[in-house]
Structure 1
């Protein structure tokens, strides 16, 4: 069946995601929508930067950047010209635990888009000229970042928090590690990660399930089952209570801080998510924003988020302030953390947090591409597609007792690892 002839009469809704039975045995989800004659596809393979070879951090990111730099009988220029001629958007990315990508195309060009995706995944060329060009771009970026306090603070934080662990290595690598990556390293990593048995896929748009199943077989069916990944051991945030300085001659220090977290699949993740919104995740309404920025004018931005990797979780925070006010800013942050552990949020704070988190959830599904990526993430985490319909009810059900339990598991005694890049005083 030609994909250009397929369409349905259903509005796009993530709650309507249905499994697709592709012959290649791929786990795939489908949301049909005829509103715009387009198809958005998102996919993710298990295994990312944590699988980088020893001494060659940045290999997974190099792999992702090279997948569309020529494939099959098409060199880099020819491949990109084919994409541009049909306005096909194809991109790849790599994170700590996965290599993924996305495809967006008009339905009338979907067959050609699927053909190019299949080539990029199954037959990347890894031409020497493309490798050296991408390597030069990466190295230039890394050298530029050596004077970026935000990047340097983040790198030092992860190195201290996960010392000796794959998560402690910079995902983008270093000048030395990227320079050491060979074509054989890229080919080997591709063979281990890019396989049909390790992929999750979601598609949204004007395409019927039968046509999508055939397209998935063409896109992913030629892939091998995938190789064996190196186990990534579970790890907790280390160096808790320590403060580290990255010396940079800048007038303002950039600060990164963190403590224990709760992974997405843990029953206490939702209470921790609500707790984080009260502490620093709620932008203008969070305690840290009100105390650090609004009341004292210590920083332009301050906040926290929950980080959930396959083998680690943490609450991760950020701010930036004048060197001479770093000590004061950190004291305010510590005070708010301790106050939240001791007293919890007020009933009004808790209700406002739940109202915002339930009311804003739909904003993450306002385009076909966003829906596809959200569905793939839910599949990757193994939460079940009914998570979309269950999630708001779980948020609404969070009680003060749940918040206290989550606070004990995450904020604990208030100690944290903190890194400041700059020349802070009182830190």
Structure 2
């Protein structure tokens, strides 16, 4: 029976993909606030008898303190394991028995949970989902077990060049800012966590006033409001969580070389970039596709890989966050080619900033970005994640409807101006793991 219900919901999920484009064509995001102060974003879609719900909180790793780094991630992790007096097996079976799927998300800014269920099973699904949100247990035995597992993962990460490079890079970009904290924590801070830390973090960060509730699927507005009120009412009723402090721009260039026996050197370089809702978002987004986000058609790939064969892959991206997220360039190259490769990357970026893009490059980038956009919203689950982003970062309700128009309207002058003002290669932080 469990397998049948799970198969049924997966088949319905696949069918939803065929309906997503028609939903998006007339996407109507309804927004309101619950009596307890939670923001709600809802899209009604009766194509199939399913619903997707997520609840997000400002409870990511940037809300940790250096002394308890890892508490945010551990709190979110344990909430999904044991709740409302139900052990792990019972809680898991509650969802599996009705074919419901519990998921989650966690990053520096936010932590959350999501639920997919047949609407015919929504009462049981919501009852169990509410236990996860409202009554996490944080048992000592489970905490100790997960501490050991996470510490083992952190120990392994300390041997992997990609992990070493990423951690050092974030510290080079952010110094003592909370964005420098590792999402999993540090070995010593994770080992020092106790149940009181997790309960305190939950009470302070999983408040109704901080919650963003997103819903999409076979629900009427009245049903959606009832569900949102139910989820909001059971949350801690403390104040809204304080905002993450602003990020400071880099004043000077830095370079950090870390030894490693890997066959190739792993290189990361960049700076704090932009944040959600940034007025330069679309010029930077389109421009970066030309610089290093467009794969084989990007300038970095053309110069570093195609012309000189210094790396198999080289990329760049902006990761907007609540405050300035990273602008990152990454590549791997032979150890004896590090200086040559790094010099070429910096020259390519500087030339991009100084001389800008051409009309031909811009049009090709816009065509590719607009043409690929439907794949980013081809399911209710993907649209739900955009509802989360719109709600959490207070983006316009027409963000999805206007996305392609915003891309299409970007001009050469806007791209060139934005990169001149916002990107400063002379101040980049550089991390090289495996340099000779």
TM-score bucket of the superposed structures, by smaller chain? over 0.9
- Mapped pair 1:180 → 2:215: no
Deviations 1:192-235 (A, max 9, x none): 11111111122122222211211222222211333453553211
SS in 2 for 1:224: coil
TM-score (norm 1): 0.92
Change in Cα spacing, 1:117 to 1:349, as seen in structure 2 (3 Å) is same
1:416 shift after superposition? 1.3
2:142 counterpart residue number: 130
Q: How many residues align?
A: 416
Q: Which residue among 360, 370, 384 is the counterpart of 1:348?
A: 360
Divergent runs of 4+, >4 A:
20-25
User: Any idea what the Cα deviations from partners look like across 1:223-274, whole Å, max 9, x if unmatched?
Assistant: 1333453553211343742111121111111111112422221211211111
Name the CA distance, whole Å, in 2 between partners of 1:166 and 1:265.
20
The aligned counterpart of 2:295 is: 283
Partner of 2:6: none
The alignment status of 1:214 with 2:195, answered yes or no, reads no
Task: Name 2:341's counterpart in structure 1.
Answer: 329
**Matching of residues 5-404 of structure 1 within 5 Å:** 11-13=22-24, 15-19=27-31, 22-227=34-239, 229-238=241-250, 240-404=252-416
How far apart in 2 are the matches of 1:366 and 1:20?
Answer: 25
Could you tell me how far 1:152 is from its partner in structure 2? 0.5
For residues 326 and 87 of structure 1, the distance between their equivalents in structure 2, rounded to whole angstroms, comes to 51
Q: Judge which range, 186-195 or 388-397, deviates more.
A: 388-397
Q: Deviation per CA, 1:363-396, whole angstroms, max 9, x where unpaired?
A: 2111111100111101111112112222222221
Cα distance in 2, alignment partners of residues 370 and 231 from structure 1 = 26
How far is the alpha carbon of 1:288 from its aligned partner?
Answer: 0.9
Change (3 A) 1:231 1:216: closer
Residue pair 1:115, 1:218 contacting (<8 A) in 2 also:
no
RMSD over aligned CA atoms reads 2.0
TM-score, normalization by structure 2: 0.90
Identify unmatched segments of 5+ residues in structure 2.
Answer: 1-18
More helix by share: 2
Instruction: Check conservation: 1:23, 1:213, Cα contact below 8 A.
Output: no
The structural deviation recorded for 1:21 is 6.3
Q: Which structure 1 segments of 5+ residues have no match? A: 1-8
- State the Cα distance separating 1:296 from its structure 2 match: 2.1
**Equivalent position SS for 1:226:** coil
Deviations 1:391-424 (A, max 9, x none): 22222121222112211122235441110111x2
Partner of 2:137, secondary structure, is: coil
